[in-house]
Structures are given as C-alpha cells and as structure tokens.
Amino acid sequence: MNVLTPGKMRGIDTLATNEGVFAVLAIDHRDSLKAVLPGEASAQDITNFKMQLIRGVGAQASGVMLEPEFSLPHAIESGALSGTSGFMAALEAQGYMQDPWAGPTTMLEGWTALDAKRFGASAAKLLLPYAPERLDHAAQQRKVVADTAGICADLDLAFLVEPVAFGMNDADRPAVVLDTVRQLTDLPIDVLKLEFPGDPSHPEGWADACAAVDAACRQPWVLLSSGVTFEQYRAQLQVAFEHGCSGFTGGRAIWRPASDASPTLRHDVIHGEVSERFAELRAMAVATARPWRTV
C-alpha cells in the first residue's frame, strides 16, 4: 500500500473541498475535445474554450484537470485559474485513441512530472489504457505506472491514475473495472480515477458493483464521466458516493452543452446550465461522498 507523505497529502488536500471530497472539473481533453467542438477548432479555439470554462465554473470546483498543450501555462498566466485552486497536470501523450492496445503509454514530449511540479501542480495524472485480460499489455502498463510513481515520489508529487478499458462491453463492465482495481491497487498510486463499475442496463446491480470496487481499492477513488449524459452521470455518482467513492472528476457530462453552443452563446451557457450542473454534483459529493482521508 502507498504511504502518503505530508507533501503528497497537502497536494491532495488542495484538490478537495473543505469536507475532503473531490469536485474536480476535468478539461485536460485534447484529441477528444477537438472532436466535439464545432468546425475545425484551432489550438487557440481550444485554449479559449478551456479558459472560459475555468472562469465560469472554476470557482465552484475543488480542483481542475489541465494539460500543457492548451491549458498550461495559459490558465496560470491569464489568471483564469485562481491562485487558491489546485490542479492536476496530465502526463500522457495523445494518439492512444487510434489503437489503445498498440503498446505501453508514452509521455508527452518535452513535458515531465518535474515540469508539472515546477508549474505548481497539486498532482500528476496519467491516463492508462488498461484491459486486465490483455495480460502482456497490462504488465507493460503496470510498469509504466510503477516507473511514473517512482518519479512522483522523488518529487513529493501526488499521483492519480485513470485506467480506461476502451471498447469495453457494458455487460463486462463490473468484472473489468473490478479486475482493473485489483491489478493496480497495490501499486504506489495515490488516487484512482475509475470508470463506473456498473452495467448501465442493469441499475439494480450498481450498488453491489460499487461496493465491490470500494472493498478492493486501497486508495481513494473518484468517478470519471466517460462521455455519458449528465443525467446518467448524476445517477451513477449518487450510487457510487453511497458506496465509498470520494468524489468526481467530471468532463463532457458537465460541459458538453458549452461545446455544442456557438461561440456567441457559450458564455451564457457556461454561466447558466454548465454552472448549475456542476453546483448540483458538488452538493451531492459534499453530502454523501467519502472524505479521502477516511479511506
């Protein structure tokens, strides 16, 4: 089991609410964001969109997930990100969506955990294509995690891992997510960011699926949104919070209305519907999620 140092604990605290739960705005998307913004979005369009989200929702978020291509150092230099807000910095290179299983995860060129630390990140984040039944690939990915965790430990930087089983069948979801946790939880990971472990078609099994993940997981875990609708994400979070989940790191399920809106309407959508969505989920987390320090 990972032993948290005071430096890592402080980093995690800066990503959590005063109650110790996570209400994190996830906008570290790159390739996937290009795919949902209308038209041929330029790099500047993507950066502008992310800055609008931070300015509109960031004050409600306990932390923000960023990356060095479109949001760092922009969020800091522009003042969009408050000096009191914690942030996670993504480490992984893009391109994995073409074939997630082609090889082990690689890091962004010219960007390391040390750079994230220098920027003032509260934690480093690693998205990890992971299918527990792909034994050779899974072994490669665990080595990537262990190596990266060692670097973060040397830097006293908290480390969050986001395993994603691309192409997973809904019926296989409970077993795949649980097996993933079992294979990763003993590695020196500080927080796990997980896909929802329940089969969307069988909500009667959601509570058992979340409880099984919580029993297997040795570190705090949070729930990503996986591109589901807001209503689906809200329902998933309610069950997860009741069974040990320590919060959320929400992306498209929360801010998709803003990416669908025209640039002229985007400000109002962010300050209206998107902000209201985030506030609702944060209130749920504060009321029912498990504080990370009690795990």
- 196-251: pLDDT as tens digits: 999 999 999 999 999 999 999 999 999 999 889 999 999 999 999 999 999 999 99
| CATH number for the domain harbouring residue 85 | 3.20.20.70
Which pairs with CB-CB distance under 8 Å and at least 24 residues apart come from 110-116? 111/68, 112/151, 113/148, 113/151, 113/152, 113/155, 113/157, 114/151, 114/155, 115/68, 115/89, 116/89, 116/91, 116/157
Q: What is the arithmetic mean of pLDDT over 14-31? A: 95
Q: Please tell me the predicted confidence (pLDDT) of residue 95.
A: 76
* Averaged confidence pLDDT in the chain: 96
Q: Establish if 294 belongs to a structural domain.
A: no
Predicted confidence (pLDDT) per residue in 90-126, tens digit: 999 987 777 899 999 999 999 999 999 999 999 999 9
Q: Establish if 122 belongs to a structural domain.
A: yes
Q: Establish if 295 belongs to a structural domain.
A: no
Q: Establish if 34 belongs to a structural domain.
A: yes
Q: Establish if 282 belongs to a structural domain.
A: yes
> Residue 91 corresponds to which tokens in the numbers above?
């480490």
Q: Please tell me the predicted confidence (pLDDT) of residue 221.
A: 98
- What is the pLDDT confidence band of residue 292, given thresholds at 50, 70 and 90? very high
User: Which residue range forms the structural domain that includes residue 230?
Assistant: 6-289
Predicted confidence (pLDDT) per residue in 35-48, tens digit: 788 888 899 999 99
DSSP H helices in the chain: 6-13, 31-36, 43-57, 74-77, 113-119, 135-155, 173-184, 206-216, 230-241, 252-260, 263-269, 275-288
Q: Establish if 76 belongs to a structural domain.
A: yes
CB count in 10 Å sphere of residue 181: 23
Question: With contact defined as beta carbons under 8 Å apart, do 170 and 130 qualify?
Answer: no
Name the pTM for this structure. Answer: 0.96
Question: With contact defined as beta carbons under 8 Å apart, do 248 and 237 qualify?
Answer: yes
Q: Establish if 1 belongs to a structural domain.
A: no
Q: Establish if 212 belongs to a structural domain.
A: yes
Number of compact structural domains in the chain = 1
Predicted confidence (pLDDT) per residue in 126-170, tens digit: 999 999 999 999 999 999 999 999 999 999 999 999 999 999 999
